[in-house]
Every structure is written in structure tokens, then in C-alpha cells.
Amino acid sequence: MSGTVAVVDLGKCYRRYGAAWHRLCEWISGGHISWHEAFWALRDVTFSVTSGEAVGVIGLNGAGKSTLLKILTGTTQPSEGRVHITGRVAALLELGLGFHPDFTGRQNAMMAGQLMGLTVSKIGTLMPEIEEFAEIGPYIDQPIRTYSTGMAVRLAFAVATADRPDILIVDEALSVGDAYFQHKCIRRIKSFQAAGTTILFVSHDPTAVKTLCGRALLLEAGRLVQDGPPDLVLDYYNALIAKREASREILQAEAEEGRVTTRSGTFEARVADVDLQDGEGHRARAFCVGDRAHVRARVSFATSVVAPTIGILIRDRVGNDVFGTNTFHVAPIEETFAPDDEIALDFDLQLNLGVGTYTLTIAVHTDASHLANNYDWWDKVIGFQVVPGPEPAFIGSTWLPVRLHVERLGKMVGSGPREVGG
């Protein structure tokens, strides 16, 4: 039988309860009271894997990889959507699971095989092969507690892969063991692949994904954000990591040193609070080229102020203005505000900036520029970084989305027009 996987609109929702009795109340009310926080570990995931394909699943911790695997292996059920799998599934999720230290390697191998649904006689016929692959010699009849970690893992891998499945799910299993063993495992997985086994490979290791897989899926915050050749997906993934790492560093520095900024003005109106957030509304200090960003600010008034203007300005590392705008130009505020009034603003921007370090300045004034009534000028209030995204490499401080059309003129040789999108 051939192993195929089809996943349509898959979603998994976990319920979080503040206290144990919240669930009790829900149960007693027969579902009329809802007292939980729904957390979607996976949502709207659609993909299919054909027989014999090797697909890498990558993503940061908490992106939903494990949840996806649990659904595919059948240990947990999806909250919505459909999964259709043909063929026998074997999962290398946790090697040596259920091994009992007081029993011999042979007894444990038997047990692990039974847990996989193999019959005793089937395991019996596979046993010589298991012993051979595990390379533990006479230790096979010694209790597992006398094994080194490597021996136990080798035995576990040998059992788990003793019978070639139609679909093999590998989850970080290869990160244990020494280099020799890892190579041996990869060889076995490759031989399975050659024999027609469909492989789903979950890893943080880009090289392993590139070696084994012809296609990669990238999960981010429970959604499938990329599905394509491993090279492209991994580039995107690296940008994601770089972004998150840079963001963390800048925020940490902010927390440690405070914002070193200059501030001037009459403060009749002042910026009470300002933050830079990503497209999902999380605080962020690093973005990929072309990412959405939100500048969210609150402005409070100390005296009566008529038609204030709130402006933002992005400057590069050396202080050149890169982009600035204000409410006067975008959407004028015409009301009059009394003392203790407050307004909240959200500048929704697409950061088509070049790679580099930038600062954000925010100001409150009247009319088109801060030359009239400078209430509050908060210079370089936030620093942030732009890292390369999935776009082709470019230089300069601005990203201009580019499409390229190349056509060979003159003699026709083979291929026709090519088009490359950016």
C-alpha cells in the first residue's frame, strides 16, 4: 500500500482553564457556560503529500509542529478539518519510549514492537535484523539499565524501523547518538524513501532537511506560511529566526538601559506611551523587509488643544530621514481636546526598508509640521532593525518590489520568455 497524507483546513484548539473548577462549571452547565480560553495550536493548515515524497516540517518552538505530528500519528484528534492517511504509519517520536530498565534488550524490543502493533511472530522474524542494526552484540540479552544511552537509542531506532512503513514520521530522533549512528539512520531513512516510503521529517537542522527532503513546510504560530522547495523555505525560516533574535536583543537592551532619548516641547499634549508592534500586534523590534508594522501610541492632553497633529519619523543609522508622515497629511484630527483627554493611534505601515538599523521619532504639534506649537518631540524613542526576508537580495535603504522580464532576442534557441517575480 502506498502512503499518502491529505490534510484539509486542519485545526487544533486547546482549552485553557484558569482553574480546575471552571471546567467543572462548563461540564455541569452542559456547554451553556463557556469559561475557557481557546488556544489554537494549529489552524487552517492544508497540504497533501504524495506517495514516496519526503517533506520537511520546520518552524520555531511552539509553531505547531508537534501538534501536527500528534494528529498525523493519531495520538490526538483535530478540532476541525480533515486528515486522510493511507498506508501504515510509523513514528520515530521518542526513541526508547516504554523501555523498562530491568528487562533485557530483547524483551524490550518485543514490547516496543507490540506497541507498534506488530505481532509476536513478526517481531521474531525481524529480530535478527534488529540485532544487526543496533550493533549491541551480546548485550541484547542484558537488562537495558546496563546499556549506555547510545546503545539504548540504537536499539530503539532499530526496532522502530525494523518493518518498513508506508509513512515514516521522524521527529528530531536523529539529534541523539553519535555521528556514525546518525549517518546510519539517515541511510536507512533514505533506503526507505527509495523503496517508496513517504517521509515526514521534523527538524531544526536545516542541513538535515535539505539532505533528506525535496519539499519543506514552514509553520509559524500554528499556520502554514510556506510550502515549497527546502532552499526557499529555509531562507524564509532563517529570516524569521534572525528577526526574532534581533528583536529580543533590542528589547533586552531597552529593558536594561532604558530608552536613551531626547525629548522637548511644551507638553501641553504629550505622548503617554508608544510602541512598535508586528502585524499580529506583538511588541517587536526587528522586521523582515516588507513586513507590516504598527506604531501604536497614546497621546494625553494637559490643556485644551485644538486639532493636534501626531507625526512619526523613521531615520536610518546615520540620521537621514527615511520616511515620515503625520495625521495632518494622512487623516487630519479636527476635534478640540480638553485636559485629561486621551487618544490612541495606530500607524499601520509596510516596512519596505532596506536591511539595517533604524530609529523611530514621534511628535505632537499642530498643522503640517512641528514648527508650529511643538507640544512634544520625542526623538529616537524606539530603535529597530530590518533583516532580510524572503525577497531576492538587494542593496540600498528602500525595497522596491520588483518584477523582472527577460526575453531573448534574435535567434530562437530552446526556451521562450522567462519571467521572475520578486
Partner 1 sequence: MPDGASIAPARAASGPPSRFEGRLRALWAYRGFVVGMVSRDFRARYLGSVLGATWAVVNPLAQILVYTLVFSQVMRARLPNSEDPLAYSLYLCAGMLTWGYFVEVLLRCQAVFLDQANMLKKVSFPRVALPVYAFLSASVNFSIIWGLFLGFLLVTGRWPGWPLVAIVPLLLVQQVFALGLGLILGVTNVFFRDVAQAIGVALQFWFWLTPIVYPLSAVPERARELIAWNPLYPLIASYQRVVVEHAWPLWNQLWLVGALAIAVVVLAEVVFRHLSGAMVDEL
> Does 142 help bind partner 1 (rule: CB under 8 A)?
no
> Does 115 help bind partner 1 (rule: CB under 8 A)?
yes
Residue number, 24 or 344, with CB nearest to partner 1? 24
In order of 11, 69, 367, 388, the CA distances from 220 in angstroms are 14, 15, 42, 17
| The one among 28, 38, 97, 420 contacting partner 1 by CB under 8 A | 97
Task: Report in angstroms how near the CB of residue 85 gets to partner 1 at its nearest.
Answer: 5
CA gap 156, 127 in Å, rounded = 12
Task: Report in angstroms how near the CB of residue 64 gets to partner 1 at its nearest.
Answer: 14
Which residues in 56-75 contact partner 1 (CB under 8 A)? 70-71, 73-75
Task: Report in angstroms how near the CB of residue 9 gets to partner 1 at its nearest.
Answer: 12
CA gap 98, 111 in Å, rounded = 8
DSSP code of 367?
S
Instruction: Tell me the three cell numbers of residue 84.
Output: 486522510
CA gap 60, 240 in Å, rounded = 9
| The one among 35, 40, 47, 114 contacting partner 1 by CB under 8 A | 114
Among 198, 149, 152, 153, which residue's Cα sits nearest to residue 174?
153
| The one among 28, 29, 34, 98 contacting partner 1 by CB under 8 A | 98
Task: Report in angstroms how near the CB of residue 159 gets to partner 1 at its nearest.
Answer: 12
* Alpha helices (runs of H) in 258-365, residue ranges in sequence order: 327-330
Task: Report in angstroms how near the CB of residue 359 gets to partner 1 at its nearest.
Answer: 45
| The one among 107, 142, 182, 374 contacting partner 1 by CB under 8 A | 107
Interacting span for partner 1 (CB under 8 A) from 18-26, 262-270, 277-285, 341-349 = 18-26
Task: Report in angstroms how near the CB of residue 93 gets to partner 1 at its nearest.
Answer: 5
> Does 104 help bind partner 1 (rule: CB under 8 A)?
no
Residue number, 73 or 277, with CB nearest to partner 1? 73
- Burial 44-68, CB ≥16 within 10 A → b, else e: ebebebebbbbbbbbbbeebbbbbb
DSSP H or E run through 41: strand 36-49
> Does 339 help bind partner 1 (rule: CB under 8 A)?
no
Task: Report in angstroms how near the CB of residue 136 gets to partner 1 at its nearest.
Answer: 20
- Contact string 201-240 vs partner 1 (x = CB under 8 A): ----------------------------------------
> Does 23 help bind partner 1 (rule: CB under 8 A)?
yes
Q: Residues with Cβ < 8 Å from 55, sequence gap 6 or more?
A: 49, 198, 199, 200, 201, 213, 214, 215, 216, 217
Burial grade of 340 (CB within 10 A; 0-12, 13-18, 19 or more): exposed
> Which residues face 405 on adjacent strands?
419
DSSP H or E run through 122: helix 120-134
> Does 1 help bind partner 1 (rule: CB under 8 A)?
yes
- Contact string 147-176 vs partner 1 (x = CB under 8 A): -------------------x----------
Which residues in 38-57 contact partner 1 (CB under 8 A)? 48
Confirm if 228 and 58 have CB atoms less than 8 A apart. no
Among 394, 224, 396, 391, which residue's Cα sits nearest to residue 291?
391
Interface residues with partner 1 (CB under 8 A) are 1-2, 4, 6, 14-15, 20, 23-24, 48, 70-71, 73-78, 82-89, 91, 93-94, 97-98, 100, 102-103, 107, 110-111, 114-117, 119-120, 166
